[in-house]
């Protein structure tokens, strides 16, 4: 049995990761400042003696005793991270410093939840881990994009300078139950609008592409990254390489929900990527990982979740 620290554990991805770790018999300390996290996501664990919740902001040092750390703390949707951009970049950079300092003291492994946003609006397609990206350092998304890039730098510097067992996972678009209703991500937006019978808002002409990974597949990739030898550091892309247009996603969700919603186009936000697709060769080779959940199956489960909220 291992005691894991999961920062951002009350969030969408963090709560599913905690489910997995507890199911495997481990103990979990969930740390979250509850800015974007939800108590409802972890409420089913509150009576579990192997689960502990701590309200704490990772921009301040954390003094706990654990065996391994998953650092997921940071708002991840454009709506969330642009509400307070200064705090967003603080969470990425100061949070990484504090979590790496903890891992250095405890001599324990730590996995950083980075993002495909480090590639910016990519000029290479699909995106592999050797690509340095095309990021606007002064745009409205930079607080997240550059914050995560700086966090990656810190993880590799701590690895080189202090021999910390630090690993980096670059997460591509992920969806599933427990997504926030108002987080502004394309899957949740489309499902909520379809269930309400509202017009489905497409930003741009809808030809921009994304690749969607179901949350259980992502969690499996995070766990396998933690469990692999310390010789492997990443960065490693974790995402589904099946690519489709935003327009096609909207049509599929309309069909699944049997909605009468119509499509409505709006201007594309500044610096919004036109294409996004992971090259997962490294994950396949080193982690023996690849996604298993088909998009339709994952969307059905996600639609059922939003229906359960009374949408």
Instruction: Annotate the chain with DSSP letters as a single string.
Output: --EEEEETTTSHHHHHHHHHHHHTT-EEEEEE-SSS--HHHHGGGTT-TTEEEEE--TTS------SEEEE--S--SHHHHTTSHHHHHHHHHHHHHHHHHHHHHHT--EEEEEEGGGGBS-SSSSB-TT---B--TTSTTHHHHHHHHHHHHHHHHHHHHH---EEEEEE--EE-TT--TTS--HHHHHHHHHHHTPPEEEESSS--EEE-EEHHHHHHHHHHHHHS-TT----EEES---EEEHHHHHHHHHHHHT----EEEEPPPTT--S---B--HHIIIII-----S-HHHHHHHHHHHHHHTT-
Is position 305 annotated as part of the catalytic site?
no
Among 81, 144, 158, 175, the active-site one is: 144
Catalytic positions: 144
């Amino acid at each position: 049995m291992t005691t894991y620290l999961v920062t951002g554990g009350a969030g969408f991805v963090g709560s599913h990761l905690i489910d997995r770790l507890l199911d495997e018999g481990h103990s979990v300390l969930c740390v979250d400042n509850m800015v974007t996290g939800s108590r409802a996501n972890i409420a089913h664990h509150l009576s579990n003696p192997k689960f502990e919740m701590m309200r704490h902001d990772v921009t301040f040092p954390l003094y706990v005793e654990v065996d391994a750390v998953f650092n997921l703390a940071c708002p991840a949707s454009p709506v969330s991270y642009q509400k307070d951009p200064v705090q967003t970049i603080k969470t990425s950079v100061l949070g990484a410093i504090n979590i790496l300092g903890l891992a250095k003291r405890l001599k324990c492994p730590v996995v950083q939840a980075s993002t495909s946003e480090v590639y910016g609006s990519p000029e290479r397609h699909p995106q592999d881990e050797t690509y340095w990206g095309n990021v606007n350092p002064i745009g409205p998304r930079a607080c997240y994009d550059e914050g995560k890039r700086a966090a990656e730098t810190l993880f590799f510097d701590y690895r080189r300078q202090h021999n910390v067992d630090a690993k980096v996972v670059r997460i591509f678009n992920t969806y599933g139950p427990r997504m926030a209703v108002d987080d502004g991500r394309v899957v949740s937006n489309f499902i909520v609008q379809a269930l309400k019978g509202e017009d489905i808002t497409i930003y741009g002409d809808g030809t921009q592409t994304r690749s969607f990974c179901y949350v259980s597949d992502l969690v499996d990739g995070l766990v396998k990254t933690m469990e692999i030898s310390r010789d492997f550091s990443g960065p490693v892309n974790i995402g589904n390489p099946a690519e489709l247009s935003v327009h096609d996603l909207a049509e599929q969700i309309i069909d699944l929900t049997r909605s009468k919603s119509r499509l409505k186009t709006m201007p594309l936000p500044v610096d919004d990527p036109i294409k996004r697709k992971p090259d997962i060769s490294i994950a396949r080779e080193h982690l023996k990982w690849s996604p298993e959940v088909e998009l339709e199956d994952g969307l059905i489960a996600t639609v059922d979740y939003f229906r359960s909220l009374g949408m």
